[in-house]
């Protein structure tokens, strides 16, 4: 059974810092991996989708990498801002459903 783990569970950084969020998964036979943002009491906002054949995706200050063979993905956030404060979830697609990690709760302090 696919298990998705996110480390750290919580992270607090000062504004302007670059940071890395980690995601690991136990079964490398995935179709894609997706990073989401979730604000308190809200739904999921898709940030980046990496297909299994890809190594990375970039959008603005965000860069996500995928190493399928080692079962790892990282989300890099450059020049963090207070508005980046949210919970970040990674999810892998293996069949009909997506398997999610428990998320990393990020706080960016002004």
Which residues of the shown chain bind another protein in the complex (CB under 8 A)?
4, 31-32, 34, 36, 41-46, 49, 51-52, 89, 91, 93-103
Run of H or E residues at 11: strand 10-14
Instruction: Considering the complex, state which of residue 18 and residue 95 has its C-beta at the smaller distance from another protein.
Output: 95
Query: Closest approach of Cβ 44 to another protein, in Å?
Result: 4
Query: Closest approach of Cβ 86 to another protein, in Å?
Result: 14
Give dist(CA 108, CA 73) in Å, integer.
21
**62-67 and 72-77 strand pairing:** antiparallel
Query: Closest approach of Cβ 100 to another protein, in Å?
Result: 3
Distance of CA 1 to the CA centre of its chain: 20
């Amino acid at each position: 059974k696919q298990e998705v783990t996110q480390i750290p569970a919580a992270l607090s950084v000062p504004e302007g810092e670059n940071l890395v969020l980690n995601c690991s998964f136990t079964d490398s036979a995935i179709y894609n991996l997706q990073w989401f943002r979730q604000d308190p009491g809200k739904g999921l906002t898709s940030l980046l989708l990496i297909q299994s054949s890809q190594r990375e995706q970039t959008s603005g200050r965000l860069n996500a990498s995928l190493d399928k063979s080692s079962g790892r993905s990282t989300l890099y956030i450059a020049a963090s801002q207070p508005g980046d404060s949210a919970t970040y979830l990674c999810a892998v697609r293996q069949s009909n459903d997506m398997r999610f990690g428990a998320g990393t709760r990020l706080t960016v302090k002004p």
